[in-house]
A and B are shown apart, each in its own frame.
Chain A
Amino acid sequence: MAKFSELGNDLYTGKRSYNIIGRRKLWYAIAGVLILVSIVGPFLRGGFVFGIEFSGGSQFSISQVSNASQQAGIDAVKSVDPAIVPLVSTLGQSGIRIQTDQLGDAEQNSVRDALAAAYSVQPSDVTINFIGPTWGADITGQAIRGLLIFIALAAIFMAIYFRTWKIALSAMIALLHDLVITAGIYGITGFEITPAAVIGFLTILGYSLYDTVVVFDKIRENTAEWGDKSTRTFGETINLAVNQTLVRSINTSVVAMLPVASILIIGAFVLGAGTLRDISLALLIGIFVGTYSTIFIASPLYAQLREREPKIQKVDQRVLAQRAARGSTAPEKVTESISAP
């Protein structure tokens, strides 16, 4: 790991520096492609799959079974169509309740027969009912209202804290990028969108903004002292800040992703589909994309927005002219510019 801490040193001093801000067209292009895939992909695959909690579904109830085993019900439903994810619970002492997505008539009958066989009852003893969504329009409506208020407040907070609305705008665009891609992954893989996935989604929303604030706080520090005496252009100053926080970004995302990844692996490969898989996929992708977008979307966007300001343009031109006079094209690889106090 000595190598890694050395990288940290080099990034901090500017000895080694990844040109992130300068290659913004590349990152925008990548983001554009990813967003396009995330929007088009789900439709090519057949749209988003909503869980029973959102769309409602079919409910099979059997009372007075001699063996109220939940597994028997799961196996019976899976024998009809392995793609169905049933929610099986026992009701009282000897009742069994199986909820599935809304099934077609034929499929519904096969499930009924399979269940009747599994629990040794007559098919007529299996009651079929339509159940409405537990996550109704009222929850969605309230959640969206809450989100809009939060995002508006977050934007105002960032604009005040950083004293420029341009940071808020960059952060919001990066946030949008994260949400579209995370949602897209669900559409493309066909994982069910369940309340757990939505909760994961909300966590990502918070994380994405959180991460942006951390990195932008360093940008704020560096650019606050940027001015007429600087030997770097504005973009290069931001680039240095992003590089200086790169080790933090990597460490944080790895630490955040390790537990999530182990949940996803155990959830998906040991347990099969279910709450754990749904929530951890959203989180894993979201944490990665959230960290990525702060560095590769929000920061270049911010640099681009600010570079057009006449005052900044003036300093940048002077810096570049001085550099040209020296016959150099890159900033001096120094820790910082030295300025008289």
Chain B
Amino acid sequence: MAKSTAVKRARRTLVWLLVIFIALAGVNLAGTIWGGGSFTPKLALDLEGGTEIILAPKTGGAAVSDEQVAQAVSIIRQRVDASGVSEAQISTQGGQNIVVSIPGTPDDATLARIEASAKLDFRAVLVSDAASVPTTTPTPGLSATPTVAPTNASDLAYVTPALEDQFLNIDCTSTAATDAGQAPADQPLVACGEDGAKYILGPVEVAGDTISNATSGVAQTSSGASTGQYVVNIFFNDQGSSEFASVTTRLSGLTGAQNQFAIVLDGKVISAPRTLAVITNGEPQISGNFDAASSKTLADQLKFGALPISFTVQSQNTISATLGSTQLISGLIAGLIGLILVVLYSLAQYRVLGVVTIASLVVAGTLTYLLVDLLSWRAGYRLSLAGVAGLIVAIGITADSFIVYFERIRDELRDGRGLPSSVQAGWKRAIRTIFASDLINLMAAVVLYIVAVGSVKGFALTLGLTTIIDLVVVMMFTHPVMTLLAELPYFRDGHRTSGLDPRQLGAVYRGRAQFKSPSAAIPRSKQESASREAARRQTIAERKSAGSTTMVIDPPRPSDDTTKQPGTGGSDKGAKR
């Protein structure tokens, strides 16, 4: 007899699952060998310790308000979160210092991401000069007030003798000059570029707080080819868009240095592009001296806003785990004991079928481990003790899918179907329930991941991960395995220990043939309850048929798409529900 399509499909699905496994393990292995990953997931602050960075505000003696500190904490948290789900802890100390604890050792990019103020302005360029070491000396006492009131932000009337003198004498090639570019927003400014070029800039025309979003990536030409240059894409809100449009309109009509506008970050010109076209859609692109990391850092800083005050790193210390390794080991032991109990319970409840539960859990566990490992390598995910507990709890929720499925199969068996057809029919009902209920969990995960910050975000990732794994395992492992097992005589014929014994399940019908003469055909001893059921049912049927002229009891229906088993293939879906 040719194998049915369900069996073929089951085999194919299992092969696909194997492919996924090999692919995941391969990526992990490759990551371990070449990419600096590892075969164990990284641990979070509570289990592994990390680095504690204390940031002190740079205020020059002025008092720092509580709101400023709270706002800074919130912005720093978003910036830290943007670098991955590492569950950093951020708090205040003594009312004005900010304490950032992050797992592992932070690199310079991370530190820059945390401490930089990220105040970004757009100013028109008035005068520019290439990198050079000044040869003159500053002249004090020059006039700093324009003789003619400037008409627009590109008006050279802004360049007073004092400003010109400052411009001539600034040495942008020395690192000491990096802090030079400080001036009120409505005043012109002398500032240095990252490449050492120097500029006289007009007043602020578009402020950084009109940025609604920022992304980073490799620039593409209009034909879609990659230029290999990293850029930061800026998306303005409505106010920023219209301001930016009017700036570019004016500048595109000018020539020379005045055609340029400068993007000033924390007093430094990071880019001074020429204005070749009027940008009206409010989506300019900044190119500069970026690489992948620095463009992402800037985009994150712009996206989450400028800090209300600048901070400097006051101290940086390694910090040990707050929970000793005893906690982790105890947690793992507890999880193991719990798992053994789950195994025993499944075996007691589902007999040999429990083995399918256990195998499914093993598959789910392995998948989870591989994915957590992958996430910890690529997305900075770290396992905290709460995360470990969450994964252990997920065991129960994952097992529920199998329980729902098995109970549905048993329900179908109770209605007198053969095992292969019960498996398929039970699956159709079960998967609907599993989809609907998993969708709820997935929704929670996605919403919390997008909206929440800090450890709630980490939780959302764990929840989403385990829910998807649950779906994958039940669809790609448990169901195919059940389909194949249903063909084995041991399960098909309902061996006493298989957990799918129709006699123990009190199947209502013993097959179509026997149903036609109920009381005689039903065996006595073991199936007493079943025979009672059938008998009762029959009375009702008779009672009902007395009232109606046509009566269809249990319309025979071909079993779905499996090979038929003589004597057990009766299906009564029509009458059942």
What is the interface of chain A, defined by CB distance below 8 A to chain B?
1-2, 4-6, 8-10, 12-13, 15, 56, 59, 70, 87-92, 95, 97, 129-139, 142-143, 145-147, 149-150, 153-154, 157, 161, 195-196, 198-200, 202-203, 205-207, 209-211, 213-214, 217-218, 221-222, 225, 231, 244-245, 247-248, 251-252, 254-263, 265-267, 270-271, 274-276, 279-280, 283, 287, 332-341
Chain B: minimal CB distance from A191 (Å): 15
Given the complex, which residues of B lie within 8 Å of A87, measured CB to CB? 322
Contact B49–A259 (Cβ < 8 Å): no
Contact B319–A91 (Cβ < 8 Å): yes
Is B109 an interface residue when CB atoms closer than 8 A count as contact?
no
Chain A: minimal CB distance from B49 (Å): 7
Is B563 an interface residue when CB atoms closer than 8 A count as contact?
no
Which residue from B400, B411, B451, B529 sits with its C-beta under 8 Å from A10?
A: B529
- Which of B393, B411, B456 is most buried by chain A, counting CB atoms within 10 A of its CB? B393
- The residue of chain A having its C-beta at the shortest distance from the C-beta of B98 within the complex is A132
- The residue of chain A having its C-beta at the shortest distance from the C-beta of B434 within the complex is A214
**Given that A276-B330, A340-B550 are contacting pairs, would A248 and B404 also be in contact in the complex, using a CB cutoff of 8 Å?**
yes
Alpha-carbon distance between A196 and B44 when the two chains are bound, in angstroms: 13
Stretch at the interface among B27-35, B154-162, B472-480, B569-577: B569-577
Contact B577–A157 (Cβ < 8 Å): no
Contact B393–A59 (Cβ < 8 Å): no
Given the complex, which residues of A lie within 8 Å of B321, measured CB to CB? 89
Alpha-carbon distance between A259 and B395 when the two chains are bound, in angstroms: 8
Is B110 an interface residue when CB atoms closer than 8 A count as contact?
no
Contact A333–B536 (Cβ < 8 Å): yes
Given the complex, which residues of B lie within 8 Å of A209, measured CB to CB? 440, 444
Alpha-carbon distance between A116 and B269 when the two chains are bound, in angstroms: 52
Contact B389–A335 (Cβ < 8 Å): no
Is B505 an interface residue when CB atoms closer than 8 A count as contact?
yes
Alpha-carbon distance between A136 and B90 when the two chains are bound, in angstroms: 9
Is B403 an interface residue when CB atoms closer than 8 A count as contact?
yes
Contact B400–A214 (Cβ < 8 Å): yes
Given the complex, which residues of A lie within 8 Å of B536, measured CB to CB? 332-334
Can you name 12 extra interface pairs (CB under 8 A) apart from A90-B320, A252-B404?
A: A1-B348, A131-B99, A137-B70, A139-B77, A142-B456, A150-B443, A206-B444, A207-B397, A251-B407, A255-B403, A259-B338, A267-B334
Contact B455–A199 (Cβ < 8 Å): yes
- The residue of chain A having its C-beta at the shortest distance from the C-beta of B361 within the complex is A255
Interchain residue pairs with CB less than 8 A apart (22): A5-B349, A10-B506, A10-B529, A97-B319, A139-B77, A139-B452, A139-B456, A142-B452, A146-B451, A153-B443, A198-B456, A199-B390, A205-B444, A209-B444, A210-B438, A252-B396, A254-B345, A256-B395, A259-B341, A260-B338, A261-B338, A274-B327
Alpha-carbon distance between A316 and B575 when the two chains are bound, in angstroms: 21
Is B523 an interface residue when CB atoms closer than 8 A count as contact?
no
Alpha-carbon distance between A200 and B455 when the two chains are bound, in angstroms: 12
Contact B393–A138 (Cβ < 8 Å): no
**Given that A70-B320, A134-B90, A256-B393 are contacting pairs, would A145 and B451 also be in contact in the complex, using a CB cutoff of 8 Å?**
yes
Given the complex, which residues of B lie within 8 Å of A275, measured CB to CB? 46, 323, 327, 385-386, 389
Alpha-carbon distance between A296 and B437 when the two chains are bound, in angstroms: 19
Stretch at the interface among B136-144, B221-229, B285-293, B540-548: B540-548
Is B339 an interface residue when CB atoms closer than 8 A count as contact?
yes
Digit string of B465-500 for contact with A (CB within 8 Å is 1, else 0)? Answer: 000000000000000000000000000000000000
Alpha-carbon distance between A104 and B315 when the two chains are bound, in angstroms: 28
Contact A210–B397 (Cβ < 8 Å): yes
Alpha-carbon distance between A247 and B348 when the two chains are bound, in angstroms: 14
Given the complex, which residues of B lie within 8 Å of A91, measured CB to CB? 52, 317-320
Contact B389–A15 (Cβ < 8 Å): no
Alpha-carbon distance between A205 and B506 when the two chains are bound, in angstroms: 37
Is B383 an interface residue when CB atoms closer than 8 A count as contact?
no
Stretch at the interface among B116-124, B196-204, B551-559: B551-559
Alpha-carbon distance between A341 and B447 when the two chains are bound, in angstroms: 44
Given the complex, which residues of B lie within 8 Å of A255, measured CB to CB? 342, 345-346, 395-396, 399-400, 403
Given the complex, which residues of B lie within 8 Å of A214, measured CB to CB? 400, 404, 433, 437
| Top-6 shortest CB links A-B | A256-B396, A259-B338, A132-B92, A146-B451, A9-B506, A266-B334
Given the complex, which residues of A lie within 8 Å of B537, measured CB to CB? 334-335, 338
Which residue from A203, A260, A266 sits with its C-beta under 8 Å from B463?
A: A203
Contact B74–A202 (Cβ < 8 Å): no
Contact A153–B447 (Cβ < 8 Å): yes
Given the complex, which residues of A lie within 8 Å of B444, measured CB to CB? 150, 154, 202, 205-206, 209
Chain B: minimal CB distance from A12 (Å): 6
Majority SS at the chain A contact face: helix
Contact B318–A262 (Cβ < 8 Å): no
Alpha-carbon distance between A8 and B501 when the two chains are bound, in angstroms: 13
- The residue of chain B having its C-beta at the shortest distance from the C-beta of A130 within the complex is B94
Is B73 an interface residue when CB atoms closer than 8 A count as contact?
yes
Chain B: minimal CB distance from A126 (Å): 15
Chain A: minimal CB distance from B186 (Å): 32
Chain A: minimal CB distance from B459 (Å): 5
**Given that A132-B91, A142-B453 are contacting pairs, would A203 and B436 also be in contact in the complex, using a CB cutoff of 8 Å?**
no
Contact A283–B393 (Cβ < 8 Å): yes
Is B40 an interface residue when CB atoms closer than 8 A count as contact?
no
Alpha-carbon distance between A15 and B552 when the two chains are bound, in angstroms: 23
Which residue from A90, A130, A147, A251 sits with its C-beta under 8 Å from B93?
A: A130
Given the complex, which residues of B lie within 8 Å of A341, measured CB to CB? 552, 555, 574
- Which of B46, B101, B324, B440 is most buried by chain A, counting CB atoms within 10 A of its CB? B440
**Given that A129-B93, A255-B396, A256-B396 are contacting pairs, would A263 and B454 also be in contact in the complex, using a CB cutoff of 8 Å?**
no
Contact A90–B455 (Cβ < 8 Å): no
Contact B443–A134 (Cβ < 8 Å): no
Given the complex, which residues of B lie within 8 Å of A213, measured CB to CB? 433, 436-437, 440
Contact B400–A252 (Cβ < 8 Å): yes
Chain A: minimal CB distance from B528 (Å): 11
Given the complex, which residues of B lie within 8 Å of A222, measured CB to CB? 577
- The residue of chain B having its C-beta at the shortest distance from the C-beta of A341 within the complex is B574
Contact A157–B440 (Cβ < 8 Å): yes
Given the complex, which residues of B lie within 8 Å of A143, measured CB to CB? 448, 451-453, 456
Is B517 an interface residue when CB atoms closer than 8 A count as contact?
no
Contact A263–B389 (Cβ < 8 Å): yes
Contact B91–A136 (Cβ < 8 Å): yes
Is B245 an interface residue when CB atoms closer than 8 A count as contact?
no
Is B17 an interface residue when CB atoms closer than 8 A count as contact?
no
Alpha-carbon distance between A142 and B410 when the two chains are bound, in angstroms: 44
**Given that A334-B540, A340-B552 are contacting pairs, would A13 and B508 also be in contact in the complex, using a CB cutoff of 8 Å?**
yes
Contact A221–B390 (Cβ < 8 Å): no
Contact B345–A258 (Cβ < 8 Å): yes
Chain A: minimal CB distance from B403 (Å): 5
Contact A266–B533 (Cβ < 8 Å): no
- Which of B341, B346, B396, B544 is most buried by chain A, counting CB atoms within 10 A of its CB? B396
**Given that A131-B92, A136-B74 are contacting pairs, would A256 and B433 also be in contact in the complex, using a CB cutoff of 8 Å?**
no
Contact A210–B440 (Cβ < 8 Å): yes
Contact A136–B389 (Cβ < 8 Å): no
Contact A221–B440 (Cβ < 8 Å): no
Is B95 an interface residue when CB atoms closer than 8 A count as contact?
yes
**Given that A260-B396, A334-B536 are contacting pairs, would A135 and B92 also be in contact in the complex, using a CB cutoff of 8 Å?**
no
Is B169 an interface residue when CB atoms closer than 8 A count as contact?
no
Is B441 an interface residue when CB atoms closer than 8 A count as contact?
yes
